[in-house]
Amino acid sequence: MKRIGVTGHRVIPDELHAHVYAAVHAVFDAHRGGPLEALSGLAAGADTVFADIALAEGAELTAVVPSGDYEDDFTEPDSLARYRALRDRATREVRLPYARATPEAYHAAGVYIADNCDRLLAVWDGRPARGLGGTGDIVRYARGLGRPVTVIWREGVRRP
């Protein structure tokens, strides 16, 4: 089974939405013909876009839950509902042993995804992480493992 993981920003600029959707679809299209597992933390933004597309493409979804209080980080009712709906559709759930959603817990979730995928998709502006466990940290970690990383972004677009 081919395993594709995701890391990415929670806020995707409006001008990138179509590009991100098309690029994620293209990655799944390139891996048709065999079983696929998609690993995601299901956070708002890149993680949920990836999970939606993975399920639509017939992949098995693995939800990587960083902490016991993870749902408390979903402050918007719509994002919490979307998280729960995706988690409920997941084939497998991996719960990390952190009680609180700290930067260390998010970093551990990203490391878990990078350790357990064959390819990492990064919806990433190429800039350093804004805190421990950010997209830049996980991309650097995955590349250090020799993991193929597909960066999805457009030059000149800045995230908020």
Specify whether the CB–CB gap between 37 and 60 falls below 8 A. yes
98: DSSP letter: E
**C-alpha span between 2 and 25 (Å, rounded):** 15
Specify whether the CB–CB gap between 135 and 20 falls below 8 A. no
**C-alpha span between 33 and 14 (Å, rounded):** 32
Per-residue pLDDT band at 32 (split at 50, 70, 90): confident
**C-alpha span between 63 and 70 (Å, rounded):** 12
Q: What percent of the chain has pLDDT over 90?
A: 91
Q: Which helix (H) or strand (E) holds 112?
A: helix 103-115
* pTM of the shown model: 0.95
The residues, any chain, with a CB within 8 Å of residue 65's CB and separated by 6 or more, are 41, 42, 87, 93, 94, 95, 96, 109
Give residue-wise pLDDT tens across range 34-69: 899 999 999 999 999 999 999 999 999 999 999 999
pLDDT of residue 67: 97
128: DSSP letter: P
